[in-house]
Amino acid sequence: MKTYLVPTFLAAMTIGGTASAQTMATVSTDLNVRSGPGVQHDVIGAIGSGDEVSVLGCIDSANWCQVSGDNLEGWAYGDYLNVKAGDEVVSLYPNRETVGVTIIEAPVGDPTTGQDAAVGGLGGAAMGALIGGPIGAAAGLVIGGTTGAAAAEDPSTEVTTYVTSNTVEPIYLDGEVVVGAGIPENVTIYEIPEQPDYRYAQINGQTVLVNPQDRLITYIYR
């Protein structure tokens, strides 16, 4: 897995002159870590479902947090980070202030405007937002548990060869690409010859396999 180290200047940030403790979070599904706060940035690795990370801080104006764990440091989408709030486990967003996570400024020069920044910087069509996905915490979930969709079996060599050899129009959607997230109806998903159980698309810089019946992402090529 490729890793990318982001400067850890945020770890020393203070609030009101007092050093702020890092927040620990558990990811609720296999989650991308990107080199910057937004889908326009490269995926530099992934955190496994149920793994714990340190949240160094979250941007107030966007749903992105800087995280560190397992020799990997970068930015992750806040909806899929679970934190302890009293006796409950909740999604970090929209509960970041309740759990006392550090609020940080966006990196200098980074617009952090999700799909608009992605389209402006990389080309492709902006088509709305990913739908749902295994977001956040469930009642009674224990930190260290998972709420994500079950991992899909690896696709066949024939499927992989076809989708990686036949590129399609890139699409950028608000939200992160995770197994179980839904593709909006206005986004084209493409057929794979002799594979009626699969469609595919390129979403937020990654090729994904999609169930044609419910349009949910079932596999992500990382």
pLDDT tens sequence across 23-38: 899 988 899 999 999 9
Distance (Å, whole) CA 16 – CA 156: 55
The pLDDT of residue 192 is: 97
Q: What is the pLDDT of residues 134-143, one digit of tens each?
A: 654 332 334 3
Looking at residue 172, its amino acid is: Y
Residue count of the chain: 222
Helices (H), the chain: 115-122, 157-165
**Residue pair 201/183 in contact by the 8 Å Cβ criterion:** yes
Instruction: Report the C-alpha gap between 36 and 41 in whole angstroms.
Output: 5
Euclidean distance between CA atoms 164 and 221, whole angstroms = 9
Residue 156's pLDDT is 95
Q: Is the pLDDT of residue 75 over 60?
A: yes
Whether the predicted pLDDT of 209 surpasses 80: yes
**Cα gap 24→10, rounded to integer Å:** 15
Mean pLDDT of the chain: 78
Could you state, in order of their start, the residue ranges of all structural domains in the chain? 9-123
Distance CA 147, CA 145 (A): 7
Residue 6 has pLDDT above 60, yes or no: no
Q: Which residue has the tokens 């967003």?
A: 93
Given a contact cutoff of 8 angstroms between Cβ atoms, the answer to whether 55 and 101 are in contact is yes
Is 9-123 assigned to CATH 3.40.50.720?
no
Check whether the bond before 155 is cis (ω within 30° of 0). Answer: no
- Res 13 pLDDT > 70: no
Is 32 or 133 the better-scoring residue by pLDDT? 32
**pLDDT (0 to 100) of residue 32:** 96
pLDDT of residue 220: 96
104 with 10: CB under 8 angstroms?
yes
Encode pLDDT of 190-201 as tens digits. 999 999 999 999
Q: Higher confidence at residue 24 or residue 13?
A: 24
User: Who has greater pLDDT, 139 or 187?
Assistant: 187
DSSP for 159-217, written as a single string:
HHHHHHHS---EEEEES---TTEEPPTTS--EE-TT-TT-EEEEETTEEEEE-TTT-BE
Residue 104: in which H helix or E strand, if any? strand 103-104
Residue 131 has pLDDT above 70, yes or no: yes
Query: What is the rounded distance in angstroms from the CA atom of residue 107 to the CA atom of residue 111?
Result: 8
